[in-house]
A and B are shown apart, each in its own frame.
Chain A
Amino acid sequence: MKRLGILSGALFILLPLAHGASTVHPVRAVRVGVHLRNATPMQVTVGQTLTFDFVPLSQGPKLMSAMGGGILNLGTVSYYGGSTNKGIQIQRNDENFAVTAPLGVKLESGSSSSGTASLKAWLSMPVDPYQVYLDNVLLTLQPTAIQNAMAMGVTTHALKIVVPRSANGSSADFKASISFEITEN
């Protein structure tokens, strides 16, 4: 009896389901357009290695290794005294004097010795009241294009610091940090 009850209950449940199923309209497969990113990979060709280094020049001041970069040793300079280090040029003006030193940069590209690179540079800290130029381009705290087609190999760059006559006391202590950025062309 119990089994019959269960069975009849099951039938009772199933019958409505069967009835409902007969009223369900079959769903027609619908093509849904889905915007997908193109999954096909791009064809890629990669170049080789670009190597960058600061190098001392035979005609220039010493370049000391420090913190993965370098420190350019300009020695002691003064308006009348000139410089104690070789390779440093002094240009005297009425309101200021300029200290110019050659700086060596070496670029190597595994793909080509005749390639070029773009060079940008900027100051990592303010240097007021001084002015710093690299290859006659005034450096600021923002990256500035210095050369658009720097050759591979060792190239010489002119680092110029303009010292105002008004600099004295603590402002006569010059500190600067220059950042370079290189990208192969």
Chain B
Amino acid sequence: MNPVRRRLSSATVCRALLVGICLSSAMMAQPALAQSSSLSLTPAVIMAKGTFGQSLTQKLTINNNTPATFRFDMVAEDVAVKNGKRVFLPAGESPGSIAANAVFSPSEIVAPPHTSATVMMTVTLPQKTSLRAMVAIFHTKNVVATNEKGVGLTASIGTLVTFNLTNDVAVSIGPLQIHPPTDTTNLSIDSELTNIGTEPVLPKGTAAILNAKGHLVGKAPFTIKRLLPGEKLDFQAEYPGTLPAGTYRALCTFVVGSKIQNVQSDFTIR
């Protein structure tokens, strides 16, 4: 007998290692997820504009569209940006923490099946902070632990709160990357945008496609994404139309607050 097979057989096959749930009669009695059984949160995003030291009070509503009772702790975390990406930090860990000044009423909440529950959140901004976002999380206490052998799944959901406190709005637009269409993909235009200001922004971009004569032959919107200060993300516009072979120019315009920025690049369709 193969030595490897001998070593493994007793540890695995003979002891009948069970990973997951056996197809027992008990499990067969539980219904599969035939219809939606979801958690939802309103609002999912709050955008506040003001100054340092101001307070914000907002109602948050969790909708429990499941057959189970959910118990939540309200948790606040700061959202910072490191190396161009968001990180979530416990309240009070960062200097000028906004989440440390968040108060929830109540701080624990129970949502019976197919009901909604509401929490009032009050946030007071520090007099000085470089942070511009926090999340208010309905942190579930539910643990789907079973007697059967399996993987339980449960969910928490949070509201993003952003703060615009000054007029320092600025975005850097990277060079355009143009991917010509193929048999299975559309023409796509990509650009990496970086928020180089101190305030969150929602850049809105449009790509205009001009032919060799400078005539407009098509337009496509860029995906809208929120950029926190220091964050960099790839923005993409996809043009679904057909372009004959030839030379074109992509003229892209981004509106950031009251500022308009343009970037362009030529490309060829073969």
A residues adjacent to B (C-beta < 8 A):
37-38, 40-56, 61-81, 84-85, 94, 97, 99, 103, 106, 108-112, 114-116, 118, 120, 124-125, 132, 143, 145, 148-149, 159, 161, 163, 165-169, 172-185
Q: Are B224 and A66 in contact (CB under 8 A)?
A: no
Q: Are A51 and B39 in contact (CB under 8 A)?
A: yes
Chain A residue contacts of B44, Cβ below 8 A: 47-50, 109-111, 184
Mark contacts of B51-66 with chain A using CB atoms, 8 A cut-off: 1 yes-contact digit, 0 otherwise. 1011110100001101
Q: Are B22 and A76 in contact (CB under 8 A)?
A: yes
Chain B residue contacts of A74, Cβ below 8 A: 19-21, 150-151
Q: A54-B33, A78-B12 are in contact. Are A46 and B45 (CB under 8 A)?
A: yes
Q: Are B13 and A69 in contact (CB under 8 A)?
A: no
- In the assembly, what is the distance between CA of A179 and CA of B10, in Å? 33
- In the assembly, what is the distance between CA of A42 and CA of B56, in Å? 6
Q: Are B55 and A42 in contact (CB under 8 A)?
A: yes
Q: Are A54 and B23 in contact (CB under 8 A)?
A: no
Chain B residue contacts of A47, Cβ below 8 A: 43-47
Q: Are B88 and A120 in contact (CB under 8 A)?
A: yes
Q: Are A79 and B146 in contact (CB under 8 A)?
A: no
Q: Are A175 and B149 in contact (CB under 8 A)?
A: yes
- In the assembly, what is the distance between CA of A59 and CA of B54, in Å? 51
Chain B interface mostly helix, strand, loop or mixed? Answer: mixed
What 4 pairs between A and B have smallest CB-CB spacing? Answer: A74-B20, A47-B45, A68-B68, A50-B44
Q: Are A145 and B88 in contact (CB under 8 A)?
A: yes
Cross-chain contact of B67 among A68, A78, A178 (Cβ < 8 A):
A68
Mark contacts of B162-205 with chain A using CB atoms, 8 A cut-off: 1 yes-contact digit, 0 otherwise. 01000000000000000000000000000000000000000000
- In the assembly, what is the distance between CA of A178 and CA of B140, in Å? 12
Residue of B nearest to A71 (CB): B150
Instruction: Answer whether residue B219 sits at the interface, using C-beta atoms and an 8 A cutoff.
Output: no
Chain B residue contacts of A169, Cβ below 8 A: 15
Chain B residue contacts of A63, Cβ below 8 A: 32-33, 153
5 new A-B pairs (CB below 8 Å) besides A70-B153, A79-B8?
A46-B46, A62-B32, A74-B20, A166-B11, A169-B15
Cross-chain contact of B32 among A43, A56, A103, A178 (Cβ < 8 A):
A56
Instruction: Answer whether residue B245 sits at the interface, using C-beta atoms and an 8 A cutoff.
Output: no
Q: Are B54 and A38 in contact (CB under 8 A)?
A: yes
Instruction: Answer whether residue B261 sits at the interface, using C-beta atoms and an 8 A cutoff.
Output: no
- In the assembly, what is the distance between CA of A116 and CA of B146, in Å? 32
Q: Are B144 and A70 in contact (CB under 8 A)?
A: yes
Mark contacts of B82-123 with chain A using CB atoms, 8 A cut-off: 1 yes-contact digit, 0 otherwise. 000111100000000000000000000000000000000000
Cross-chain contact of A181 among B9, B33, B40, B139 (Cβ < 8 A):
B139
